[in-house]
Amino acid sequence: MYMKKLLVTGGAGFIGGNFIHYLLEHYPHYKIYNLDALTYAGDLTKHSAIEPMENYHFIEADITDFQEIMQLFEKERFDFVIHFAAESHVDRSIRDPGIFVQTNVLGTQVLLEAAKNVGITKFVHVSTDEVYGELDFDPTTFFTEETPLKPNSPYSASKASSDFLVQAFHHTYGLPINITRCSNNYGPYHFPEKLIPLTISRVLNNEKVPVYGDGQNIRDWLHVFDHCAAIDLVLHEGVDGEVYNIGGHNERTNLQVVKTIIQALGKSEELIGFVEDRLGHDKRYAIDPSKLEQLGWKPKFTFESGIDQTIKWYVENKVWIEQINSRNLHML
């Protein structure tokens, strides 16, 4: 007898996919539904081992399809929604902002309407630290949950808009929600357009690794397994209506990250190729996760242990990344 029904949107993606595996391992009595539109970044091969499980179900659908989403919610009566589904690549948002507004804003609104109509127990909206804008290079400054939102890219603007919608549905309709805002994730099954998997893939193939500008932009890195544990805690113990920042206290410049991977793989730094900087490139992100830590969460991975685990995974799963790259030759 399954106690709860959980809908994970974007479960064919990187973080959502890892979260589904986490749920099935930690909550075998939950019934897990994976909703994904299978866009270019969607990949179901990561779920091949769990497909036969009776408490796992995949649903191919677009979160912007109001009628289909409403029918699904009315049929299944989910208890929890964990909303990962989003367009998330900043470069793509600069080239085509419209799809980001469509998916990240309208899609979130459709899910909120459906959740409100069936009376779910909790809606967890997974957002990003990028909604806060950028920090200067002062190492004593951090984003907190009280930091005003000041997004700078079309991607982060669309995520900030969806955050505001989630808060509005809580305030106006009493929808039980939490919002999480995480720093940069890394780990297994990361789509290879992002910095760490792109670097690993390029270095393994002795290809040039593109680094924007001078490579001094700073990000706080969070292993996806630590992120999954944090969302689990927020889902079950988060205070209704609250926002929780999730960060790893692992700040590194982009150049440091690339050099770490090159060194770990025993290759030459001559593979680094500096390219024209990204438009509106934020200087630094850094999160203060104290509020979540007071709830009982602590990251298990340091950047050193996490990047070692991640590099090892990609080396052992070269076939997966080669399949993804060959399917998206236009991307790289």
Beta-bridged to residue 209, according to DSSP, are 272
pLDDT tens figures, 97-136: 899 999 999 999 999 999 999 999 999 999 999 999 999 9
Identify whether 130 is a catalytic site residue: yes
Segment 201-221 shows an average pLDDT of 94
Question: Which has the higher per-residue pLDDT, 3 or 145?
Answer: 145
DSSP type of residue 46: G
- Is beta strand 209-212 parallel, antiparallel or unpaired with respect to 218-223? unpaired
CB 32 within 8 A of CB 56: yes
Distance of alpha carbon 161 from the chain centroid: 17
199 found inside a domain: no
pLDDT higher than 70, residue 261 = yes
pLDDT band, very low/low/confident/very high, at 318 (cuts 50, 70, 90): confident
- Is beta strand 218-223 parallel, antiparallel or unpaired with respect to 251-253? antiparallel
3-state helix, strand, coil split of the chain in percent (to 5) is 45, 20, 35
203 found inside a domain: no
> What pLDDT is recorded for position 327?
67
pLDDT band, very low/low/confident/very high, at 328 (cuts 50, 70, 90): low
170 found inside a domain: yes
205 found inside a domain: no
Residue 286 belongs to a domain with what CATH number?
Answer: 3.40.50.720
Identify whether 226 is a catalytic site residue: no
CB 19 within 8 A of CB 45: no
Identify whether 91 is a catalytic site residue: no
26 found inside a domain: yes
> What pLDDT is recorded for position 192?
82
204 found inside a domain: no
How many structural domains compose the chain?
1
pLDDT higher than 90, residue 42 = no
Q: What residues make up the domain containing 139?
A: 5-191+222-250+282-302
Instruction: Supply the pTM of this predicted model.
Output: 0.94
33, 56, 132, 155: which one is catalytic? 155
pLDDT tens figures, 64-77: 999 999 999 999 99
pLDDT band, very low/low/confident/very high, at 90 (cuts 50, 70, 90): confident
84 found inside a domain: yes
129, 163, 193, 220: which one is catalytic? 129
43, 62, 79, 130: which one is catalytic? 130
Residue with the two structure tokens 């998916």: 103
182 found inside a domain: yes
